[in-house]
Amino acid sequence: MFSPYYAAARRLGWSDPENFCAVNVALYEPRRKFWSLTERTRRDLRRNRDSLAIGPSSLLCDGNALVIDINELTVPVPRRIRGTVRVTPTVTNDKVMHLDEAGRHRWRPIAPHARVRVELHDPRIRWEGAAYLDTNSGDEPLEDAFLAWDWSRAHTPDGTTITYDVTRRDGSKGSLGRIFDPSGRMRTPGLPPTVPLPATHWRIARNVRCDVECSPHVVRTLEDTPFYARSVVETHLGSKPVTAIHESLSLSRVANPIVRCMLPFRMPRKRFRHPNDVWRA
């Protein structure tokens, strides 16, 4: 949805989104991080009911888990990321929620509770832990409906708490909060007020939900880009301290032509050449 190539194609008229697809890998270690987001064409895309392959990487639902086979190159300094990520849901959800009043933008937390097993060969990393899986879809570009949003997710002993706070294109505000308990039951909580966090290096505003008389703080900023920030935040929800994954997005920045010109440095577009020509159309 942030592809500068897709945005350029849309300006010339309708364009097939399957011609602009990618597998995004972000890996964070204490002193280094890895990023890969190589866009492919429809000739490098294969999918059916249970699997999706984009270039050299693939995703497969084997009946119990989502198995992600990664084979990508980092940018801007090329380094191989290879290995397998297995996401096993412990709770699933089939409810779809609208992020806008017109229902053009939808969000579904597929697995609010899950376990993940990461086994990478390059770099050599292996670990297991808590996981989460969701999906977003829409009938128009995000920047046509929203100016900005903040999203957060926190795992607690009581379940998974997820919040969305959006600023619509007309300046009005919207919010959405859900709690999924360990049995999968969903409820809508009363949301505490939003509290501003320090802006990022690129001056992206960040706001997080926090109980009254509590002071949230940023533990680490994982991604700091001209239009998007991903952070680890310590806050309080339901009178309990939680550590949340937090995302802030500026859609007005996404639509900025200067930002569009910067994106290819983090998002190259390449044709995948399989040694056996398996991927050729």
What is this structure's pTM?
A: 0.91
| Structure confidence by residue, pLDDT tens digits, 212-264 | 888 999 999 999 999 999 999 999 998 889 999 999 999 999 999 999 999 99
Count the domains in the chain. 1
Sequence length of the chain is 281
What sign does the CA torsion over 226, 110, 41, 273 have?
positive
Q: Is residue 126 included in any domain, yes or no?
A: yes
Q: Is residue 272 included in any domain, yes or no?
A: no
Q: Is residue 271 included in any domain, yes or no?
A: no
Q: Please say whether the beta carbons of 82 and 74 come within 8 A.
A: no
Q: Which tokens go with 270? A: 């390449």
Domain range for residue 210?
A: 4-265
Q: Is residue 270 included in any domain, yes or no?
A: no
What pLDDT is recorded for position 281? 36
| Structure confidence by residue, pLDDT tens digits, 172-216 | 999 999 999 999 999 998 999 999 999 999 999 999 999 988 899
Q: Is residue 274 included in any domain, yes or no?
A: no
| Band (14; pLDDT cuts 50, 70, 90) | confident
Q: Is residue 230 included in any domain, yes or no?
A: yes
| Structure confidence by residue, pLDDT tens digits, 69-108 | 999 999 989 999 999 999 999 999 999 999 998 999 999 9
| Structure confidence by residue, pLDDT tens digits, 135-155 | 999 999 999 999 999 999 998
Q: Is residue 86 included in any domain, yes or no?
A: yes
User: In this model, does residue 277 exceed pLDDT 60?
Assistant: no
User: In this model, does residue 21 exceed pLDDT 80?
Assistant: yes
| Structure confidence by residue, pLDDT tens digits, 56-72 | 999 999 999 999 999 99
Q: Is residue 29 included in any domain, yes or no?
A: yes
Q: What is the mean pLDDT of residues 159-165?
A: 94
